[in-house]
């Protein structure tokens, strides 16, 4: 019988669910140094996507919707680098909840991974803030990019806790769906196409990504000379968005697909 995968057919959703579980087990058992290094890379990759988004949005006269769409497409750079280049992203790793629900990994293993990866992502994001400041990227477009960065950071600190939490839920539902679709592909092209639409949508819709915010908010703080980005408000945003991201990724994606495809399935049955 001819293997249809040779001709580029995507994995079926039930197959993706099994692959996501296997990925969760591998991530849970990865050694500490590997996890941390790859997490730092992911934080830097997402920061590059965020910076690309700011450049594309700065000075645009194309109107709100088109500008947001182009910005969203630009931001996709971050997750493309994570998935194709190989890195560990906290928000995507919320899909490990599937392996946990199937009792393939323990709560301690999940928490270890999430903690190490989150810390590494933060280091990568903050490292990019330092490099971008050193490179004086804010001076692009006659200082316009710096104004865009400050405006974005200010808007994020203006969100209420409930708004930030809800936007975090919606964001990571789309991010994890992007990872899910990428897991369904066989080629680099398949994976990139799977990522583009969910990620463009979350950015265009103004949802909140905790790791991206570890670049947006510190960068805004560095540029802020007018008190537009209060530290307390920035930390409040990061806390609420992180919590929302966890709910969106674990319950709305991992939880739903586990119920649909992996509930009651045991490794020995396959």
- What pLDDT, in 10s, does the model give residues 3-30? 444 445 788 999 999 999 999 999 999 9
Question: Model pTM greater than 0.85?
Answer: yes
Residue 3 in domain: no
Beta-carbon count within 10 A of 101 CB = 19
Total structural domains in the chain? 1
Within-domain flag for 227: yes
Domain with 254 in it: what CATH number?
A: 1.20.1080.10
Determine, yes or no, domain membership for 64. yes
The verdict on residue 2 lying in a domain is no
DSSP string, 148-168: HHHHHHHHHHTS-HHHHHHHH
3-state SS class at 194: helix
Stretches in the chain below the pLDDT threshold 70? 1-8, 266-270
Would you say residue 4 lies in a domain?
no
- Whether 196 is in a domain gets the answer yes
Residue listed under structure tokens 């865009």: 148
> Is 1 within a domain?
no
> Which structural domain range is residue 183 located in?
10-261
Question: pLDDT tens digit string along 82-101?
Answer: 999 999 999 999 999 999 99
Per the domain annotation, does 175 fall within a domain?
yes
> How many of the other CB atoms lie within 10 Å of CB of 230?
13
Q: What is the pLDDT of residue 8?
A: 57
């Amino acid at each position: 019988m001819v293997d249809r995968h040779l001709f580029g057919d995507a994995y079926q959703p039930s197959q993706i669910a099994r692959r996501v579980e296997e990925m969760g087990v591998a991530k849970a058992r990865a050694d500490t140094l590997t996890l941390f290094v790859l997490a730092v890379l992911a934080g830097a990759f997402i920061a590059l996507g965020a910076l690309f988004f700011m450049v594309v949005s700065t000075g645009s006269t194309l109107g709100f919707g088109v500008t947001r769409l182009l910005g969203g497409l630009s931001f996709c750079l971050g997750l493309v680098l994570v998935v194709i280049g190989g890195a560990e992203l906290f928000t995507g790793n919320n899909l490990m909840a599937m392996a946990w629900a199937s009792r393939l990994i323990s709560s301690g293993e999940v928490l270890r991974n999430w903690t190490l990866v989150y810390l590494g992502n933060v280091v990568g994001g903050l490292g990019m803030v330092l490099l971008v400041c050193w490179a004086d990227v804010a001076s692009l477009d006659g200082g316009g990019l710096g104004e865009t960065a400050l405006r974005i950071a200010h808007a994020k600190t203006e969100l209420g806790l409930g708004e930030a939490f809800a936007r975090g839920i919606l964001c990571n539902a789309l991010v994890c769906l992007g990872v899910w679709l990428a897991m369904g592909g066989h080629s680099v092209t398949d994976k990139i196409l799977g990522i583009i639409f969910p990620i463009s949508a979350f950015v265009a819709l103004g949802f909140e990504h905790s790791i991206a915010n570890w670049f947006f908010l510190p960068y805004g703080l560095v540029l802020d000379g007018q008190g537009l980005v209060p530290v307390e408000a920035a930390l409040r945003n990061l806390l609420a968005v992180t919590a929302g991201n966890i709910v969106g990724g674990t319950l709305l994606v991992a939880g739903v697909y586990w119920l649909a495809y992996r509930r009651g399935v045991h490794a020995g049955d396959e």
